[in-house]
Amino acid sequence: MPVLFDGCFGWLHPAAGRRGVVLCAPYGGEALATHRAWRRFAERLAAAGSPVLRFDYPGTGNSVGEEGDPSRLDAWLGGIRAAAAHLRAVTGVAEVALVGLRLGALLAAAASRDVRADALVLLSPFPSGRAFLQELRAMALLAARPADAPPAVGPEGIDSAGFRLTPETAEALRGLDLARMMEAPARRVLILDRPEGRAAALAERFRALGADVEEASFPDHVRLMSSVQHAALDCSAFARAAAWLAPDLVPGVARAGPGRTMEASAPRLRVPDAVERPLRFGPDTGLFGILCEPATATAIESPAVLLLNSGATPHTGTGRMSVRLARRLAARGIASLRMDLGGLGDSASKPGRRDGLIYCRDMVEDAQAGLDALAAAGHGAAVAVGLCAGAAVALRVALADPRVAGLALVNPGRFVLGDGVTQEEAIGSAVKPATAYLPRLTEPAVWRAILRQDRKASRVARGLSERAARRLRIGAGRLRAGLTGRGYAHDDVLHAFQALCDRGVRTLMVHSVGDVTLGELEAQAGADGGQLRRMGGLRMERLAGADHSLMERAARERFADLLDDLLDRIGTGAADVLRGKGPGPPEGTGAFRVNHATGNSPA
């Protein structure tokens, strides 16, 4: 169940045991990649009898604050202390164990004495803040970035996976070194480390300080950290930690449950200009989202915003983008719901379907449940916003539900939904525009690769031929529809956008310059999306210096400005769209032109 304490958002997993567990998450992109597995780990611990609290550090996830606020290290350690105090207060546990992963392990060990932790589990721990900074800096420098993006490491800090670690926070972390501890962090310590890790010396140090230390390997480290999809799988290290922590259920110990949880009714988190509350909704209340509303009532009539998952990333978004958007919108007087679709983030699994899949057709029903939740809160019309696979869901829910008054689509990899694919499968099947390959056909090496059926060359050739066949099929459907009035192909994207335009729905479509998803746009609408750009009511933009997931801060800001402009254009007309009295397509066609240099379009 969602809980709030000291400005932190968290999840309480009740159980009847005498020992509670506080989970201390990793940092940044690793926290996103492991979110689903971390949640499953908490459920496993609770099923074994331990009440569990997992939470977002201050300035991260759904919690109050920003990553650039001062004294972040003190705030993170304070969040762990507050989490332990909250767990004790609402469950009555006699003991608390801390479990930390990666940077969370370093923080858990540093906070353990203040928390009076009875047991400590360190999963692939950094032995010091310097070790963490060294790896974070290396990963940031090695990560692929747009050619015109600012450097990943500079005077403003380290930018990695959309998150920024400021110089002040980095300097504070340099002072953390577990090898210099003068007291054992806990009576019992379990360390599970990757083969190349440096925790052996740490274990010896803790033993010298009097702790009972057990060591084992962490064989799933690479698989767990590599992607959201891989992290959705079971982790043997988590199973080992759960077995080590398995509590003795003592009769008579205070039991956790909804009746004893202070926030069980309707917890609210107050941030500047906004009030947020977690919602469980949809079939069997299996879906989860955060409703963000303006702190003060506004007389401006505007649609709410439905923020969908970016690929398989949880509802907070890459680089916390969805949280930032929601709070920015609230400051403008606009409500929003950032939600997890089925099988993603904190929503329940879908029966008969593995977690972590994207481009699933039943996600349209999930998004409609999100619209229902907004309507129940008094927000009848909405603008659906999606990045990558979320853009396909946004498009399809707009076609299915008249409550959608506008769309903001960012780097849509596909425009149709099916039985679902993994994030890796979607990336592996992406093919750039044909113009990116044609010049290379004069190179002998390319033809040699094609003739020997090179894996990559074969994939590209197959993708281009499939596009050609699809365009012929869609063209035949349009010809048939022109003669009979029906028969459009189900994946005729131009027809879909025209239907939305006829309904008065305004659409913003944004692509990062050079993004691989421009190949899908070309396949559907011609070079540079020409046929769509000539359609009234549809604005197309290119973001220079942006990657696919908008990890660059400047790109996120430019998109936020574009979304503001879309909402201004929709304005009070959303109510008319909802009543079926939409104005129809805006006057004129081809009203919006792409400026490739700046990413801006004239009004």
Tell me: the pLDDT tens digits for 527-552? 888 888 888 899 999 999 999 999 99
- pLDDT, position 271: 92
- pLDDT, position 267: 84
Tell me: the pLDDT tens digits for 314-354? 999 999 999 999 999 999 999 999 999 999 999 999 998 98
Token reading at 308? 């969908």
- pLDDT, position 432: 53
Tell me: the pLDDT tens digits for 134-157? 999 999 999 888 888 889 999 999
- What is the per-residue DSSP string for 383-402? EEEEETHHHHHHHHHHHH-T
Give the residue from 91, 80, 81 showing the smallest Cα distance to 52: 91
- pLDDT, position 449: 53
Segment among 206-220, 224-238, 293-307 with least mean pLDDT:
224-238
pLDDT, averaged across the chain? 85
Structure confidence at residue 64 as a pLDDT band (50, 70, 90): very high
DSSP 418: B
Beta bridge partners of 410: 387, 510
- pLDDT, position 467: 58
Q: Is residue 458's pLDDT more than 90? A: no
Beta bridge partners of 406: 383, 506
- How many H helices and E strands in the chain? 21, 22
- pLDDT, position 65: 96
More confident residue, 225 or 215: 215
**pTM score of the predicted model:** 0.86
Burial class (CB in 10 A: 0-12, 13-18, 19+), 374: buried
Q: Is residue 440's pLDDT more than 80? A: no
- pLDDT, position 104: 98
Q: Is residue 255's pLDDT more than 80? A: no
Q: Give the whole-number percent of the chain exceeding pLDDT 90.
A: 66
More confident residue, 190 or 493: 190
Rounded-to-integer distance, Cα 41 and Cα 234, Å: 9
- pLDDT, position 534: 84
Rounded-to-integer distance, Cα 515 and Cα 543, Å: 10
From residue 280, alpha-carbon distances to 40, 290, 325, 370, 550 in Å are: 18, 9, 21, 10, 28
Q: Is residue 197's pLDDT more than 80? A: no
Token reading at 178? 């577990």
Those residues with Cβ within 8 angstroms of residue 302's Cβ, 6 or more apart along the chain or in another chain: 333, 334, 567, 570, 571, 572, 574
Tell me: the pLDDT tens digits for 66-96? 999 999 999 999 999 999 999 999 999 999 9
At 398, which amino acid appears? A
Give the residue from 348, 330, 344 showing the smallest Cα distance to 280: 348
The strands making up 163-165's β-sheet, listed across from edge to edge, are: 153-154, 157-160, 163-165
Rounded-to-integer distance, Cα 371 and Cα 299, Å: 22
Tell me: the pLDDT tens digits for 549-593? 999 999 999 999 999 999 999 985 655 555 554 444 444 333 322
Give the residue from 429, 367, 383, 311 showing the smallest Cα distance to 565: 383
At 472, which amino acid appears? L
> Rounded mean pLDDT of 366-390?
97
Rounded-to-integer distance, Cα 245 and Cα 41, Å: 12
- What is the per-residue DSSP string for 158-177? EEETTEEE-HHHHHHHTT-B
Q: Give the whole-number percent of the chain exceeding pLDDT 70.
A: 79
- pLDDT, position 302: 86
More confident residue, 216 or 486: 216
- pLDDT, position 460: 52
Tell me: the pLDDT tens digits for 407-433? 999 999 899 999 988 877 777 666 555
- pLDDT, position 429: 61
- pLDDT, position 482: 61
Q: Is residue 444's pLDDT more than 90? A: no
Rounded-to-integer distance, Cα 160 and Cα 30, Å: 10
C-alpha 387: how far from chain center: 10
- pLDDT, position 590: 34
Rounded-to-integer distance, Cα 445 and Cα 262, Å: 67
Contact 513, 521 (CB under 8 A): no
More confident residue, 312 or 249: 312
Q: Is residue 168's pLDDT more than 60? A: yes
C-alpha 161: how far from chain center: 11
